[in-house]
Structure 1
Amino acid sequence: MQSRRPGLGFIFITLFLDILGIGIVVPVLPGLVEQVHGGGKESSAFFYGLLVALYCFAQFFCAPILGTLSDQVGRRPVILWSLFGAGLDYFLLAALGSGAFPWLNGIGWLIAARLIAGATGGNFSACTAYIADISPPEKRAANFGIIGAAFGLGFAIGPAIGGILGKFGYHVPFLVAGVIVMLNCVYGLLILPESHKPENRRKFQLSRANPVASLKGLRRSPLIFGMSMSFFFYHVAHYVYQSVWVLFAGYRLGWDTLEIGVSLAVVGIMSAFVQGFLGRKMLPKLGERLAMKLGLIIMALEMVGFGLAHNSLTMYLVIIFGSVSGIASPAMQGIISRNVGDDEQGWIQGAMTSLSSLAGILAPPLLTGVYAFFISEKSPVELPGAPFFFSAILVVAVTGIALASTRRGGNFD
């Protein structure tokens, strides 16, 4: 058992540093796009949205390939390759931002950098499969909680660091993020043990690795299909944070960038606490199905609370209460992981990453569209909280689908 600990610790550090790097560049990426694009704010904003979509598209297509590949060659090489790709992306963006290389300029390089990042962004699926490899089935859901903890801490700290570093130029945050990721890659090369046993290896099949076939494979059983659909719509609902939080907080509450940044930091810290500590205590006691049910019900109430909030105190009370909903995601992942073989963990996690990437493509325009309509003159009533109410309805549907899928058969407690 002791040999497993360094692997789990490294996976947490890997995911944390990965999200920290993403968080560091969040405040300055729009400015870099505007600088390189050379157009006005409107056209630059559109192009920025296009780059986000390109990243998600590349991840959607490549995550199943990397996940399935990890079932054959092991998790370690895929994780290290993904880290190297992320570092290359950051260094390329740093070079673009510095202006030190006159030949390295223009929209094409921006697109290339984002495609590289998306194509090698399969470390999430490989890291999740790694956790499944080294965790007994009854502890997987609790250990999956470190994913949310890493995300929460990374997004709580990263943007603040990026905002400070951005004062020294657009290229500095990208350079720092690149160095962090490359050091993590070297550390992994020296320290990280392989988790996927040779007897559990599965030959790579392109028919299973392409995203369409990978998602079709989710129909193998009612439980896997139902839980996968629940996972997808859960992520669509959760994208309300990335899509409209800033818009809603500025419009309804009059928050400035500092207040918005603080609120997101609190969200990240609470998420890290719940998924990294509280959830790991609660999940073994509640069982995966009950923890999922409880988390989803709290999330639905949380979304309604945000939609109704008219002041800062209410928002923070809802953030604290709603953070307990973080136990739902690792519980769902635990149920899905339990019900596939050890030789398919890379494939299933790649498919899940594709679903979350697809949610990242579809959810932002959907949720911002709902927001824009309900604050426009076309709306019969001004309702800036409408995207949160929409997400609450989705979560109620997710709860019904997930509970129906796990009512009979399967392995989930």
Structure 2
Amino acid sequence: MMQVNTSRLIILCTIGLDALGIGLVFPILPRLIQEVTGTTNIAPYIGVMIALYALMQFVCAPVLGALSDKLGRRPILLFSLAGATINYAIMAFAPTLMLLLLGRAIAGISSANIAVATAYITDVSEERDRAHNFGLFSAVFGAGFIAGPVVGGVLGEMWVRLPFVVAAALNFGNYLFTLFMLPESKSSPSGRFDFHSLNPTASLLWVMGRKRLWPVVGTYFLLSAGGEAYGCCWALWGFDAFSWNGTWIGLSLSMFGLCQMLVQLFLPGPATRKLGERRTVFIGIAASCLALVVMAFAKQGWMVFAVMPLFALAGLGTPAFQAVAARQVDSASQGQLQGLLSSATSLASIIAPFSFSGLYFISRASLPGAVWLVVLTLYILAVPLIHISTRTIHKICVND
């Protein structure tokens, strides 16, 4: 038991440092691109960088997840951290846009951190504790992502490339920390390299042969697509609907992140033990939908802050559904499953930002909050898929 607790603590620290590194560069990236390209119209370049990263992640995450099932979680996590270190090092010193794009491509190819860490948490957790541990996972990642932009903004004022230098150092330190401290979580990885695992279509064929996974993958895609709306439209919506300045937009995002982090830190374990995973997921979806309705028609900014605790209850559903997803396959296929789910998330991050941006600019004059009704629609579409996924688990449990 002590070994399991130690492993969980180390992987949580790894993910926290990973999120901190991502958050460090988030507010400074536009300035770096402007410096390298020499133009103020940087929106197309940011779009290309985001799309390139997501595309490479979409193709490679299932491959790395499958390899983690065969070779173990630890070597793939080390590979991923090495790729992140190289990416940030390139971005810290790259003089041209092409080198920046190369760095993002490397980061996308090696971006197995989250998928493999999720599989690791599954490996070291008892079934009854998985929702709680996934909640801790999300809370630690959220804390790192909240702190990162603040630190990155301060460092960026000293030198625009300094956050990238620090992010590279953090990831290299994280690599060494994982190398010397993190034990392997799989009890018996085969250790055999299989060229079939390098086929990007292998995971697609694998999931096509397992119909019970279709609703799980579909749910991840819809929820991830809905989540992209906040990054795309929150700042624009706050300005158009409430005339918020940068301070109020930042404060609202920080408050939202803090509320969600607290929910994920303390509530998923007790909620799933008392209500079960299925009810907990539906409570999270219902809370999100109610908050989105208020946000869509809110006339004053205080109304958004008022519903944030309700909105944060959505954080109950994610860890519970992650626990549901993990129970769909055995331990030998956890990496492949998590890689596939990461790939679905990446696909959503390619498609959704362009879609939400277009929808927002069409509706902003008449109803700026209409974008939240679109997110609400996606969540409603996810409900029958969640029902099927959780019903399948329920039947398996009954039959067992």
TM surpasses 0.5: yes
The alignment status of 1:275 with 2:264, answered yes or no, reads yes
Q: Deviations over 1:83-108 (max 9, x none)?
A: 12111111211113xxxxxxxx2111
Match of 1:307 in 2: 296
The alignment status of 1:397 with 2:389, answered yes or no, reads no
Quick check: 1:71–1:347 contact (8 Å CA) kept in 2?
yes
SS at match of 1:197: coil
Quick check: 1:227–1:402 contact (8 Å CA) kept in 2?
yes
| Residue among 153, 174, 179 paired with 2:169 | 179
In the comparison of the two structures, how many residue pairs are matched?
A: 397
Q: 1:207: Cα distance to partner?
A: 4.6
Match of 1:100 in 2: none
Q: 1:141: Cα distance to partner?
A: 2.2
Quick check: 2:60–2:110 contact (8 Å CA) kept in 1?
yes
Distance 1:411 1:338, change over 3 A: farther
Distance 1:271 1:211, change over 3 A: farther
Match of 1:263 in 2: 252
Match of 2:81 in 1: 83
Report the Cα distance in structure 2 between the residues aligned to 1:34 and 1:319, rounded to whole angstroms: 35
What is the correspondence of 1:105-120 to structure 2 with a 5 Å cutoff? 105-120=95-110
**CA RMSD, Structure 1 to Structure 2 (Å):** 1.8
Q: 1:32: Cα distance to partner?
A: 0.6
Distance 1:342 1:31, change over 3 A: same
| Greater displacement, 142-151 / 286-295 | 142-151
What is the correspondence of 1:354-393 to structure 2 with a 5 Å cutoff? 354-375=343-364, 382-393=366-377
Match of 1:334 in 2: 323
Match of 1:235 in 2: 224
- Equivalent position amino acid for 1:268 in 2: G
| Residue among 407, 410, 413 paired with 2:391 | 407
Q: Deviations over 1:93-151 (max 9, x none)?
A: 1113xxxxxxxx21110110101111111111110110111111222222111231123
- Equivalent position amino acid for 1:65 in 2: V
Q: Report percent identity of matched pairs.
A: 35
TM-score, scaled relative to structure 2: 0.95
| Greater displacement, 161-170 / 134-143 | 134-143
The alignment status of 1:125 with 2:115, answered yes or no, reads yes
Q: 1:222: Cα distance to partner?
A: 3.9
What is the correspondence of 1:287-302 to structure 2 with a 5 Å cutoff? 287-302=276-291
Q: 1:219: Cα distance to partner?
A: 3.4
Q: 1:367: Cα distance to partner?
A: 0.8
- Equivalent position amino acid for 2:284 in 1: G
Distance 1:264 1:401, change over 3 A: same
Q: 1:408: Cα distance to partner?
A: 4.5
Quick check: 2:63–2:198 contact (8 Å CA) kept in 1?
yes
The alignment status of 1:345 with 2:329, answered yes or no, reads no
TM-score, scaled relative to structure 1: 0.92
SS at match of 2:184: coil
Report the Cα distance in structure 2 between the residues aligned to 1:141 and 1:202, rounded to whole angstroms: 29
Report the Cα distance in structure 1 between the residues aligned to 2:369 and 2:288, rounded to whole angstroms: 15
Distance 1:22 1:301, change over 3 A: same
Report the Cα distance in structure 1 between the residues aligned to 2:363 and 2:29, rounded to whole angstroms: 29
Match of 2:128 in 1: 138
Q: 1:60: Cα distance to partner?
A: 0.8
| Greater displacement, 65-74 / 310-319 | 310-319
Q: Deviations over 1:161-217 (max 9, x none)?
A: 11111111211111111111211111111111110111x548655555544431342
Report the Cα distance in structure 2 between the residues aligned to 1:89 and 1:412, rounded to whole angstroms: 44
SS at match of 1:239: helix
Q: Which runs of 5+ in 2 are unaligned?
A: none
Report the Cα distance in structure 2 between the residues aligned to 1:221 and 1:292, rounded to whole angstroms: 22
